[in-house]
Amino acid sequence: MSKELTHAARGPQDIAKLTPEQAKKVVTFGAVAAVVGLAVAGAAFAADKQRFAFSYLVGFMFVTTIGLGALMFVLIQHVVRAGWSVGPRRQMEWITGILPWTVALFVPVAMTAHTLYEEWMGPNGHTDKAIAKKLGYLNPSFFFTRAAVFFAAWALLSWWFSKTSAAQDDAKKPGEITLKMSAVSAPSIFVVGVTLTFAAFDWLMSLDPKWYSTIFGVYIFAGGFWSSLALLALVTLYLQGKGFFAKVSTVEHRHDIGKLLFGFTVFWAYIAFSQFFLIWYANIPEETIFFKHRWIDSWQTVSMTLLFGHFVIPFLWLLPRTIKRHKLGLGIAAAWCLVMHYVDMYWLVMPNLDHHGAHFTWIDLGGLLGPVGVATLAIALRASKGNLFPVGDPRLPEAIRLQNL
Amino acid sequence: MSAAPVPVTSDVDDPSIRAPLVLGRQNFATVSDSVSTIVERKAPKTWFLLLGLALSILAILGGSLVDLVWKGVGRWGNNHPVGWAWDITGFVFWIGIGHAGTLISAILFLFRQKWRTSINRAAEAMTIFAVMAAGIYPAFHVGRVWLLYWVFPFPNQMSVWPNFKSPLLWDVFAVSTYATVSILFWFVGLVPDLATLRDRATTRTRQIVFGIFALGWRGSHRHWLNYERAYMILAGLSTPLVLSVHTIVSFDFAVSVMPGWHTTIFPPYFVAGAVFSGFAMVLTLMIIVRKAFGLEHLLTKRHLENMCKIILATGSMVGYAYAMEFFIAWYSGNDYERYAFVNRAFGPYKWAYWTMVSCNVICPQLFWFKKIRTSIPAIFVISIFVNIGMWFERFVIIVTSLHRDFIPSSWGYFRPTLIDISTFFGTFGLFLTMFLLFLKFLPSIAISEVKGVMPAADPHHHDDRHEAHEGLTGGTGNEDHHESDPEAVHA
């Protein structure tokens, strides 16, 4: 490989592996996060089972969509033969480490499903004419079968792409592995696109089984992809701050991640606006009810927070080149975006419980911290093993040469 | 890297190297030559033949429009219950075609897709001509075309204003902005190439005409710096614009309360469909152009293959949208929604629906196979199928949703009139005439941009042979006055 490096890439290489102590520290951090998260979640569950069911669904969707966004990122990099993202792709592979755990994270959702999806799982489903018509799709056995298919598909893809990428690190013919991942990624995008859509329908849209929107899957994808980029930015900044990655992930890569974060800020807004605007304009009661619920009392504030916090502020903040390249500037944006993704999930789920206005309680925090803790552990376990960047990727020299002129 | 032989085919699958975008032993001079000579040489006979054909079709458009204006819009088959048919179908069809140009020139630029350089010029030209063709429909649908300026809001003594709540007015804004920015973008990109043609000019007229439009371009560092900045800004502005145009076109339908029209996925679905149809049209045209003018070394099979992949991706997005519409129509439990879709697929227009599905969803899936996406005849045929399918998509959305109103007494079956057909057919005459003139009188491939993606333009390129600079005094820009010197090329 060294033969192929140009002068920009010569000189000492980046540290590719954590020391055993560092790796241990990472895993410990993840484990502590998981324990603390699960403890708070457990306390919240004990305190208020009904509220916890909804709060937990918010947290579950928060981490699951981030994992799916990361998986989409990895797949897209392979399918378009991206050169710049070779380094960051490894960090995204870590983030997809959430996905094999989602099946375990789903257990509380499954246990509380009758609370969450009372409207169609309960007796009301058979008596309400409008809901009864869709029981062919919305019924518990089909619901859980679908969930099993989703988890299997995601775990398989997350595992295969990370394993294959890791195997490339010391493969004799790394080029062939790149081609193999590229070939598998194209159909995988289909699988993720379809499963993500129906997961969004099943777990979020069916909370209000009478409401429907064809764009809903795209909406969830947009938010998930956006927040996975935000998490990638944070992980990248952390590692760069610790002195890793003098070459494979520099200010140039940060800039590119910032550009994508900016782009998907607009994309999310575009999808969210399309959904809102068409429903508002046509003003059909069975559709407007969704926004009506989110316009009651303090939900108004949350809705406006989404408009400004999920779009206007990050849009303006991420517009200048300087901010995207600035460590603190990008870091603030990334952390902000993750908070906003949580607000988005909260805004989708909680109005189904809090009909008279939003009121955030510590139970909601428990619902968030449980899944986030487990996700942190999942990412930490991946990060602690193997190389920090795909050392054997044939496009690594190209990634190192990246410059935003 | 210096030792590695420069590959000469585009069938490179080694991920450690990027496939060359220009094939053969090319240097900057030969690239200038192969594009400029199309403009400089006398046009081949086929070109005149094709222009004659295109002009005849254009005459059909003229005749149809005269008839339409003379006798009234009733000459089109629009009537209760289908009050909107081939006119808006044609409008959306052409606007959609235009989207590939902007996607290639702006979005692929922002994503640093260097292969765009060989196709962006022609695709952008196509965009402009497609928007012109699209404009015919709203312009003439107003009936009194000389009062078309009423579509713009302006203070007037009658206090008559267009309806600001109508997506049709937003269309006026969106399409006119889009057309303006597309033309600017296209022209900015043309400036360095026009200077090349000016510097190579052998006749006084050509020198003056190209000289005027080259805006005094000298290829200095300051010129390039300004050029690159302008290009980047225009790319950044065009990106949201290209999404906005078809989004607003989709609003024409989706803001209504019509089953089959009102659905939230319409905006991204229309944009994906527009890019899909636009790339198909680029393929249809460029497969002919590269052959006819011998540009296979600049517009390689690899370029075609990449476009096929975009068609596969956007075609699948369109398929996803169809599936979502169907699923949610069922899931909604709304009888009217459900009926609209059952009627679409199994009603009197089922032939149109299944033509659409075959052409748009099934046909592009063939591009999964490398054999098919590298076979030029196959690409050509599929690209035409996609063009047909995308026309049918608009027809299906528009006509099948309208033809059976809520009350069965308001059911009907739309049949196009002769003028419907001749107007639509005629717009191809306008499009082709413009495109043929463009091919003959302007550089159909962005010369300076293609040079920028050749290995010799890379500052890391250490080729001792300095192939690209043979006979040149150096530089990577517009030393075209050297290149016009035949001796310089072989020095």
By CA distance, what is B4's nearest residue in A?
A: A4
Chain B contact for A321 (CB, 8 A cutoff): no
By CA distance, what is B306's nearest residue in A?
A: A80
Mutate to test the interface with A, among B166, B221, B265 (most CBs of A within 10 A): B265
By CA distance, what is B334's nearest residue in A?
A: A130
Q: Do A282 and B263 touch (CB under 8 A)?
A: no
By CA distance, what is B236's nearest residue in A?
A: A263
Q: Do B333 and A133 touch (CB under 8 A)?
A: yes
Task: Locate all alpha helices (DSSP H) within A170-215, ordered by sequence.
Answer: 174-203
User: Burial letters for A202-211: b for 16+ Cβ neighbours within 10 Å, e otherwise?
Assistant: bbbbbbbbbb
By CA distance, what is A268's nearest residue in B?
A: B268
Question: Stretch B416-440: mean pLDDT, rounded?
Answer: 96
Whether the CB-CB separation of A20 and A385 falls below 8 Å is answered with: no
Give the residue among B196, B193, B198 at the shortest CA–CA distance from B209. B198
Question: Rounded to 5 degrees, what are φ and ψ at B448?
Answer: -65, -35
What pLDDT does residue B172 have?
Answer: 94
Q: How confident is the model at residue B3 (pLDDT cuts 50, 70, 90)?
A: very low
Q: How confident is the model at residue B10 (pLDDT cuts 50, 70, 90)?
A: low
Q: Do B262 and A284 touch (CB under 8 A)?
A: yes
What pLDDT does residue B462 have?
Answer: 62
Question: Rounded to 5 degrees, what are φ and ψ at B79?
Answer: -160, 165
- Out of A275, A278, A398, the one facing B262 most closely (by C-beta) is A278
- Out of B15, B112, B334, the one facing A394 most closely (by C-beta) is B15
Q: Considering only CB atoms, which residues of chain B are within 8 Å of chain A?
A: 1, 13-16, 18, 112, 240, 243, 247, 251, 254-257, 262-268, 316, 320-321, 324-325, 328, 330-334, 368, 460
Q: Using one digit for the tens of pLDDT, what is the confidence trace for B289-316?
A: 999 888 998 999 999 999 999 999 999 9
Report the distance separating Cα A192 and Cα A176, nearest Å. Answer: 24
Residue-range domains of chain B with CATH: 37-453 (1.20.1630.10)
Residue A116: pLDDT over 50: yes
Chain B contact for A176 (CB, 8 A cutoff): no
Mutate to test the interface with A, among B12, B305, B331, B373 (most CBs of A within 10 A): B331
Whether the CB-CB separation of B239 and B106 falls below 8 Å is answered with: yes
Report the distance separating Cα B391 and Cα B88, nearest Å. Answer: 11
Chain B contact for A167 (CB, 8 A cutoff): no
Backbone torsion region of residue B294, taken as left when φ is above 0, otherwise alpha when ψ lies between -120 and 50, otherwise beta: left
Q: Give ∠ CA A389-A390-A391 in degrees, rounded to 5.
A: 95
Residue B475: pLDDT over 70: no
Which residues in chain A are closer than 8 Å to B262, comparing Cβ atoms? 278, 282, 284
Averaged pLDDT score across all residues of chain A: 94
Q: Do A4 and B268 touch (CB under 8 A)?
A: no
Q: Do A214 and B325 touch (CB under 8 A)?
A: yes
How many Å lie between the alpha carbon of A29 and the closest alpha carbon of chain B?
37
Q: Do B262 and A395 touch (CB under 8 A)?
A: no
Whether the CB-CB separation of B258 and B329 falls below 8 Å is answered with: no
Task: Locate all alpha helices (DSSP H) within A308-395, ordered by sequence.
Answer: 313-318, 321-325, 327-349, 362-384
Question: Stretch B334-344: mean pLDDT, rounded?
Answer: 94
Residue B451: exposure state from Cβ atoms within 10 A (0-12, 13-18, ≥19): buried
Q: Using one digit for the tens of pLDDT, what is the confidence trace for A147-172?
A: 999 999 999 999 999 999 999 998 99
Which residues in chain B are closer than 8 Å to A190, comparing Cβ atoms? 316
What pTM did the predictor assign? 0.93
By CA distance, what is A395's nearest residue in B?
A: B16
Q: How confident is the model at residue A7 (pLDDT cuts 50, 70, 90)?
A: very low
Residues in CB range of B393: below 8 A, 6 or more apart: B273, B318, B356, B360
Tokens of B114: 């260097």
Which residues in chain A are closer than 8 Å to B460, comparing Cβ atoms? 6-8, 401
Question: Rounded to 5 degrees, what are φ and ψ at A311?
Answer: -125, -65
Which residues 2-41 in chain A show a CB within 8 A of chain B? 4, 6-8
- Out of B255, B263, B333, the one facing A214 most closely (by C-beta) is B263
Q: Do A214 and B240 touch (CB under 8 A)?
A: no
Tokens of B401: 């949703």
Dihedral sign from CA coordinates of A352, A356, A360, A362? negative
A-B CB pairs within 8 A amount to 97
* Residue B220 bridge partners (DSSP): none
Residue B473: pLDDT over 70: no
Question: Stretch A116-122: mean pLDDT, rounded?
Answer: 94
By CA distance, what is A211's nearest residue in B?
A: B332
Which residues in chain B are closer than 8 Å to A285, comparing Cβ atoms? none
- The DSSP string of A46-79 is HH-HHHHHHHHHHHHHHHHHHHHHHHHHHHHHHH
Which residues 256-275 in chain A show a CB within 8 A of chain B? 266, 270-271, 274-275
Which residues in chain B are closer than 8 Å to A186, comparing Cβ atoms? 368
Q: What is the largest CA-CA distance in chain B?
A: 81
Q: Do A286 and B324 touch (CB under 8 A)?
A: no
How many Å lie between the alpha carbon of B368 and the closest alpha carbon of chain A?
9
- Out of B112, B240, B251, the one facing A266 most closely (by C-beta) is B240
Question: Stretch A49-77: mean pLDDT, rounded?
Answer: 97
Q: Do A278 and B255 touch (CB under 8 A)?
A: yes
Q: How many CB atoms lie within 10 A of CB B205?
A: 8
Chain B contact for A133 (CB, 8 A cutoff): yes
How many Å lie between the alpha carbon of B232 and the closest alpha carbon of chain A?
11
Report the distance separating Cα A66 and Cα A59, nearest Å. Answer: 11
- Out of B13, B257, B320, the one facing A284 most closely (by C-beta) is B257
Chain B contact for A67 (CB, 8 A cutoff): no
Q: Do A278 and B264 touch (CB under 8 A)?
A: yes
Which residues in chain A are closer than 8 Å to B112, comparing Cβ atoms? 84
Q: Using one digit for the tens of pLDDT, what is the confidence trace for A298-310?
A: 999 999 999 999 9
Which residues in chain A are closer than 8 Å to B264, comparing Cβ atoms? 213-216, 274-275, 278-279
- Out of A130, A179, A393, the one facing B333 most closely (by C-beta) is A130
Q: Using one digit for the tens of pLDDT, what is the confidence trace for B196-208?
A: 999 999 999 999 9
Residue B8: pLDDT over 80: no
What pLDDT does residue B22 have?
Answer: 85
Averaged pLDDT score across all residues of chain B: 89
How many Å lie between the alpha carbon of A209 and the closest alpha carbon of chain B?
9
By CA distance, what is A174's nearest residue in B?
A: B15
Percent above pLDDT 90 for chain A = 90
Q: How confident is the model at residue B489 (pLDDT cuts 50, 70, 90)?
A: very low
What pLDDT does residue A12 have?
Answer: 58
Q: Do A274 and B264 touch (CB under 8 A)?
A: yes
Q: Using one digit for the tens of pLDDT, what is the confidence trace for B362-390?
A: 999 999 999 999 999 999 999 999 999 99
Report the distance separating Cα A104 and Cα A371, nearest Å. Answer: 10
Amino acid making up residue A301: T
Mutate to test the interface with A, among B12, B228, B312, B332 (most CBs of A within 10 A): B332
Cis bond before residue B81 (omega within 30° of 0)? yes
Q: Using one digit for the tens of pLDDT, what is the confidence trace for B26-78?
A: 888 888 989 999 999 998 899 999 999 999 999 999 999 999 999 999 999 99
Q: Do B264 and A190 touch (CB under 8 A)?
A: no
Q: Do A270 and B324 touch (CB under 8 A)?
A: no
Report the distance separating Cα B55 and Cα B193, nearest Å. Answer: 28
Q: Do A175 and B16 touch (CB under 8 A)?
A: yes
Percent above pLDDT 70 for chain B = 91
Percent above pLDDT 90 for chain B = 77
